[in-house]
Amino acid sequence: GARQQTNLCNESLMLEKLPACGKFFEEMMKKVDSKKWCNLTEFIMYYDSFTQCTEREANNASCFWPNPLAEGFITGIHKQFFSNCTSDKIHWEDPPDEILITLILIPVMLTCAMITMVVWCSKRSDIL
């Protein structure tokens, strides 16, 4: 019968090729002000190219992507560029009671006024 050939992951080839992806990403990130490195919208295209490059090189070496070695490489790139980025959560607070009551009462009063106006106009439809 036909024998299925399976290619084994050539990890050394993959690890040899991945730094070229990192070098390309590093060159692209030089175009971005380092103060904006935590703003994904500033470099999303470069990061997408980097990700595609690592996936392509892993596949060329007959390796799955992501795999632990590729993930380790990507983590190293993250540490190099994004170690100062934090995910500070914004602490939302309710406005003072006076403002909150006003923000609630205005739409309620406008709704009541509109209902009153509709009822009043519907009773006077014979005149209009």
The domain segmentation of the chain, as residue ranges, is 11-82, 95-127
- The whole-number pLDDT of residue 1 equals 43
Look up the CATH number of domain 11-82.
1.10.150.510
Give, to the nearest 10 degrees, the angle between helix 68-82 and helix 11-29. Answer: 20
Q: pLDDT tens across 90-127, in order?
A: 678 888 999 999 999 999 999 999 999 999 888 877 66
Q: What HEC string does 107-123 produce?
A: HHHHHHHHHHHHHHHHH
- The whole-number pLDDT of residue 59 equals 95
Which stretches of 5-121 are assigned E, i.e. beta strand?
none
pLDDT in tens, the chain (128 residues): 444 445 799 999 999 999 999 999 999 999 999 888 988 899 999 999 999 999 999 999 999 998 999 999 999 999 999 888 876 666 788 889 999 999 999 999 999 999 999 998 888 776 65
Q: Is the CB of residue 70 less than 8 Å from the CB of residue 63?
A: yes
- The whole-number pLDDT of residue 87 equals 67
Answering whether pTM is above 0.95, one says no
- The whole-number pLDDT of residue 121 equals 87
